[in-house]
């Protein structure tokens, strides 16, 4: 099997994907004279039982020892999620809480409120600072003449003579 080529950043534009959709593994069988590690038996290994049937429906689907890997993540049952939601409802019910739990809940609420107030104050200060900076920027723009603009007339003044024509003095 050859290593995959270098990624070029255009894999999504290719017609056929380079990577398989299903992960596959090959089962490696130990040699006949091989022994398990000291203190262990072949039954301790997940694939150590030679009589165990591998989940292949028929020999035609066997691809030379390759098989589909199943997820090892445990599946969450519906009862577990219902039990945790019931516990959270009990924890939020003040009558079911102990005195210490009520005190801790009050402390948490007070801390949340103080954090919210501090954040609100910080945002107000930040907004005021931004407004002050904007005022300074506007004042600077009006105080200085625009860069690159000199006198259009080159220092001369325009006037109209007796005949009504424009004259530069």
Most confident of 38-42, 130-134, 155-159: 130-134
Q: Is 66 helix (H, G, I), strand (E, B) or coil?
A: strand
Can you tell me the distance from the alpha carbon of 16 to that of 14, in angstroms, rounded to the nearest whole number?
Answer: 6
Alpha helices (H) along 8-98 = 78-92
Largest CA distance in the chain: 125
d(CA 101, CA 106): 9
Task: Give CA–CA dist 68/23, Å, rounded.
Answer: 6
Q: Which residues are 160's β-sheet partners? A: 166
Question: 9 falls in which pLDDT band (50, 70, 90)?
Answer: confident
Residue 64 is predicted with a pLDDT of 64
The whole-number average pLDDT for the span 20-33 is 72
CB of 104 within 8 A of CB of 92?
A: no
Measured between alpha carbons, how far is 49 from 47 in angstroms, rounded to an integer? 6
Place of tokens 């723009």: 141
**pTM to 2 decimal places:** 0.32
Percent of the chain surpassing pLDDT 70: 61
Q: Which range is least confidently modeled, 109-113, 150-154, 163-167?
A: 150-154
């Amino acid at each position: 099997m050859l290593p995959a080529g270098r990624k070029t950043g255009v894999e999504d534009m290719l017609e056929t994907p380079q990577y398989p959709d299903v992960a596959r593994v090959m089962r490696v069988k130990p040699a006949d004279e091989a022994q398990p590690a000291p203190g262990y038996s072949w039954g301790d290994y997940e694939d150590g039982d030679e009589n165990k049937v591998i989940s292949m429906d028929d020999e035609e689907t066997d691809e030379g020892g390759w098989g589909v890997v199943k997820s090892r993540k445990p599946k969450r049952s519906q009862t577990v999620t219902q039990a945790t939601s019931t516990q959270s409802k009990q924890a939020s019910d003040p009558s079911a809480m102990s005195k210490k739990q009520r005190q801790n809940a009050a402390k948490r609420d007070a801390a949340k409120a103080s954090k919210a107030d501090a954040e609100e104050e910080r945002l107000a200060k930040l907004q005021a600072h931004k407004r002050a900076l904007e005022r300074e920027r506007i004042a600077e723009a009006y105080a200085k003449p625009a860069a690159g603009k000199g006198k259009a007339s080159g220092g001369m003044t325009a006037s109209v003579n007796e005949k009504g024509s424009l004259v530069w003095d």
